[in-house]
C-alpha cells in the first residue's frame, strides 16, 4: 500500500510517496507533476542497481560512488551532460539513489538553466527519511560539508521501501542515525509520534517524512525552526569533515549523527539544561537502532572545533541544537571550554568502556 505524505508549500507543494514498489509509479507521477517534460535525465550511481522508467525518452548519467561525488566539479559535469542531452528547463531530472545522489542531482537541477524540475527516487534509508525531502541540495568543500548549495524543492519524492532489502549493513546504520534523530525531536504529526526501532520500516519512513514535512513547511529556508533538523549534526559534520583528511576515521553519516546526538545530550547536561535521565534516554534511543555513540579515536578537539565554527547554524559563534526544559532548540554562544570538556568526557567514557569490556 502506498502512503502519501504531503509537503504543503503553496505553489511548491509536492507529495512524498512511501511503499514497497512505489518507484514503478514514476511515469505516472512525472506526467502529473511535470506535464511539460518531453525528455528526462536519470542521475544515479553504478552500485545503486535500481532501474526506473520516467515514461519519456531518457538518458542515464552515472556519478562516482561515495561522498566524493558531492563536488563542484561533478555539478559542472552533470550540467554539461544535461546540455548535451538537449534537456530544457521544461524537462525533468530524476535522481535515483541515496542522499549523495539526491543532494548532487538536486543542486545540478537547481543550477541548470536557473532551475529545472527534478524528482527524487530515494533508494536508501537515509534518503527516504531525510535527504531526499525538503529541497536542501548541495555539495561539499574541503572546508566542510554542504557549504555550497541551493533550496530547490523536488516535484515529488518516491520512497520505495522495497529497495532497502539490498542495503549493506553500514548503509542501514547511516539511515538509522537520522531515524534516531527524529525519535528524539519530540515532534508529533497526524501520521503519529516518534519513530521507533520496533515499528515496521514503512511506518518508520512515513513518520520521519511527516516530521520533516511539518518542519519544512513551517520554515522552508532554515530561518529558525528548520535548524532543529540538524540535531546531532554539528559534531557529526565536523567528524565527517575530519574524515576527509584522515583515512583512519571511518564513519557513515548516520553513524556520525549517533555520536553527535549523545554529544549534544552531554553538552546540554553540562550546561544544566537536562538531567542524567534525559542523557540516558538519548543513549537508549541510539542503542535501540544498533548504533554506537563512542567518539572515534584519533580525532583532535581543535580540528573538530574549527569545523564546528563553520557549521551553517553558526553566526560567528559556536551554535548547537540542544535539548532542554522546553524541548530541543537552537542555542547560540556556547563557550568553547564547555565543548572541549564534553569531548573529553566522551573520550574518557570510551576508554573506560573499552577497559571494562576487556576485563574478565
Give dist(CA 258, CA 285) in Å, integer: 10
32 among known catalytic residues? no
Catalytic residue among 212, 252, 269, 282: 212
Handedness of CA 314, 315, 317, 322 (dihedral sign): negative
Catalytic residue among 120, 140, 146, 230: 230
Catalytic residue among 23, 145, 155, 237: 237
178 among known catalytic residues? yes
Give dist(CA 277, CA 41) in Å, integer: 50
* H or E segment to which residue 288 belongs: helix 276-288
253 among known catalytic residues? yes
Catalytic residue among 181, 233, 252, 282: 233
312 among known catalytic residues? no
212 among known catalytic residues? yes
Name the DSSP class of 189.
Answer: B
Which residue do the cell numbers 512515513 mark?
206
230 among known catalytic residues? yes
Catalytic residue among 3, 23, 70, 136: 136
140 among known catalytic residues? no
Do 113 and 41 touch, CB atoms closer than 8 A? Answer: no
Do 243 and 297 touch, CB atoms closer than 8 A? Answer: no
Catalytic residue among 67, 171, 178, 255: 178
Catalytic residue among 176, 207, 226, 252: 226
User: CA dihedral in degrees (286, 252, 131, 210; nearest 10)?
Assistant: -10
181 among known catalytic residues? no
Catalytic residue among 67, 171, 222, 240: 222
Do 108 and 159 touch, CB atoms closer than 8 A? Answer: no
**Residues taking part in catalysis:** 114, 136, 178, 212, 222, 226, 230, 233, 237, 253
Amino acid at each position: 500500500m502506498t502512503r502519501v505524505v504531503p509537503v504543503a508549500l503553496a505553489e511548491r507543494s509536492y507529495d512524498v510517496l512511501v511503499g514497497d514498489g512505489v518507484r514503478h509509479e514514476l511515469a505516472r507521477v512525472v506526467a502529473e507533476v511535470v506535464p511539460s517534460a518531453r525528455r528526462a535525465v536519470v542521475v544515479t550511481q553504478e552500485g545503486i542497481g535500481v532501474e526506473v522508467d520516467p515514461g519519456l525518452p531518457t538518458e542515464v548519467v552515472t556519478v562516482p560512488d561515495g561522498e566524493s561525488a558531492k563536488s563542484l566539479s561533478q555539478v559542472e559535469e552533470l550540467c554539461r551532460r544535461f546540455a548535451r542531452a538537449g534537456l530544457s528547463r521544461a524537462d525533468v531530472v530524476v535522481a535515483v539513489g541515496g542522499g549523495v545522489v539526491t543532494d548532487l542531482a538536486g543542486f545540478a537541477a537547481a543550477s541548470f538553466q536557473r532551475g529545472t524540475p527534478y524528482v527524487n527516487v530515494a533508494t536508501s534509508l537515509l534518503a527516504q527519511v531525510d535527504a531526499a525531502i525538503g529541497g536542501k541540495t548541495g555539495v561539499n568543500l574541503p572546508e566542510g560539508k554542504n557549504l555550497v548549495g541551493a533550496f530547490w524543492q523536488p516535484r515529488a519524492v518516491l520512497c520505495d521501501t522495497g529497495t532497502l532489502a539490498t542495503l549493506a549493513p553500514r548503509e542501514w546504520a547511516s539511515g538509522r542515525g537520522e531515524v534516531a534523530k527524529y525519535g528524539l525531536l519530540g515532534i508529533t504529526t497526524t501520521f503519529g509520534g516518534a519513530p521507533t526501532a520496533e515499528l515496521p520500516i514503512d511506518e518508520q519512513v512515513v513518520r520521519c517524512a511527516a516530521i520533516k514535512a511539518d518542519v519544512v513547511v513551517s520554515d522552508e529556508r532554515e530561518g529558525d525552526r528548520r535548524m532543529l533538523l540538524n540535531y546531532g549534526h554539528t559534531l557529526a559534520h565536523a567528524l565527517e569533515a575530519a574524515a576527509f583528511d584522515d583515512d583512519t576515521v571511518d564513519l557513515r553519516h548516520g553513524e556520525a549523527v549517533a555520536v553527535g546526538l549523545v554529544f549534544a545530550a552531554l553538552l546540554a547536561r553540562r550546561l544544566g539544561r537536562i538531567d542524567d535521565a534525559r542523557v540516558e534516554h538519548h543513549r537508549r534511543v541510539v542503542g535501540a537502532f544498533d548504533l554506537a555513540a563512542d567518539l572515534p579515536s584519533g580525532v583532535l578537539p581543535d580540528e573538530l572545533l574549527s569545523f564546528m565554527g563553520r557549521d551553517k547554524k553558526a553566526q560567528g559563534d559556536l551554535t548547537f541544537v540542544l535539548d532542554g526544559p522546553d524541548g530541543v532548540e537552537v542555542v547560540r554562544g556556547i563557550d568553547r571550554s564547555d565543548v572541549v570538556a564534553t569531548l573529553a568526557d566522551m573520550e574518557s567514557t570510551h576508554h573506560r568502556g573499552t577497559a571494562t569490556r576487556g576485563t574478565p
